[in-house]
Structure formats: C-alpha cells, structure tokens
Amino acid sequence: MLFSGGQDSATCLAWALSEFERVETVGFSYGQRHLVELDCRDRLIDGMKTIQPGWRDKIGERHTLDIPTLGELSDTALTREMAIEMGEDGLPNTFVPGRNLLFLTFAAALAYRRGIRHIVGGMCETDFSGYPDCRDVTIKALNVALNLGIARNYELHTPLMWRDKAATWQLAEQLGGKALVDLIVEQSHTCYLGERGARHAWGFGCGECPACQLRAKGWHEYAGRKDKPAQT
C-alpha cells in the first residue's frame, strides 16, 4: 500500500484493510516540501487499529524509501521554494515528472522481496490536477510493464480512480464510519506547503494551495450531501 499520510492514501489504506488479510505500507521521502505528511502516517495507522475489529492484526510492516534523486532532478513547486502556478504546458508546476511511475516501480521491487502481489495506490483521474501519471491508462500500462519486467503477476489497485474528493470522504465513512472520517480530518496531511497551523473543517493546511482547495471543496460537497433531508 503506497501510504503518504494524505487523505487519499489514508482512505485507500482503510480500503486495503477491508479487502486483504495483511497490509504493508510504504512511503517515499524525495525532498518534498510537505515532508510533514510522512510524520502523519504512524498516527493514522495507530488510529485505524481501533476503528474496525480485525484491522489491528492486518497491519504489517511499515517501510520508508528514500529517493532524493527525484527531488534533485525536479524543478517543481513540490520540491523547491517557489510559487505554485500553472505552466505553459497546461500542468501546474506541482507536477513532479515520473513520481508515481517511480513510486509504483519501487513498490513493486519491494513487493518482489516481500512476496506480495497486490499493490494499492491513491491515484485518481476524476478529481486531479491533470497529472498524466495519475491517469487510469498510465497505471494499466505500468502494470503490464511491471509484470513483464519483473516476471510477476502484480495487480495494481486504484480504488479512488473514478471518485471525486466528496466521494472519497464518503468512502471513508462507509469503511470506518465517523471515527475514520474524524481521524482523516485530524491526522492526515494534504497541504503542498506543509502547513499544519490552521485547522479548518476539513483538516489542517494553508487553505490556498491547489491540494487544500480540492480537499476543502470535496469536504463541503460531502458535508452538504449529509445535511440534506432524506427524500420521501
């Protein structure tokens, strides 16, 4: 399970715990400005152990892989102190070229050693910033490449691929009730700037970067649906 400590990966971890008998997590340190996200992982995992019967026993080893070369190569707003803006190519400068491709490849290499076949990631094409390495076709193509290049029958799972952020909050509620939603609000991290000072209804963050805006938008849509009276 690719586990960054953000809303999406926390929801995917809950999904994986509901689907599989044992789940190991892996996070990546690549020189990201929001490195604080990695500090959130243990608190999220510890919290999840108390939410559903059986989840505690399913949580296995926690791995962190250092790939600083990715940050050194990337001249982006996620790896440099620069303003977040849209590039001439139509992509925001928060796009780190090759990031998800490398993450999944390293995860597959780790899975090879650990005897694991299923790999879960929080990539999403429905509610994203246009990152090409989040697209369903990219993940499917990489799945084929990994199976050919490593000679293993890996299955890459992306349970959020066709869900927007509101639906992701809803999935968290379905998997772990209000307790899981509250845990993700309090302990996960999404803000690109690594801001943990301001507490909003949807969690901590600067409230201005694209990641915060997307998370906030999804939260308000999710909360609005919950507040609507039932149809009779």
The pLDDT tens digits of the residues spanning 67-112 come to: 988 888 887 767 767 677 677 776 766 777 788 999 999 999 999 9
With respect to residue 198, please indicate whether it lies within any of the assigned structural domains: no
With respect to residue 182, please indicate whether it lies within any of the assigned structural domains: yes
Least confident range from 110-114, 122-126, 167-171, 177-181: namely 122-126
With respect to residue 131, please indicate whether it lies within any of the assigned structural domains: yes
Number of structural domains found in the chain:
1
Structural domain of 54: 7-190
Q: Which residues contact 209 (CB under 8 A, 6 or more apart)?
A: 84, 191, 192, 193
For the segment 30-44, what is each residue's pLDDT rounded down to a tens digit? 878 777 889 999 999
Helices (H), 28-84: 36-48, 55-58, 68-73
With respect to residue 87, please indicate whether it lies within any of the assigned structural domains: yes
Please state the pTM of the whole predicted model: 0.92
CATH number at residue 86: 3.40.50.620
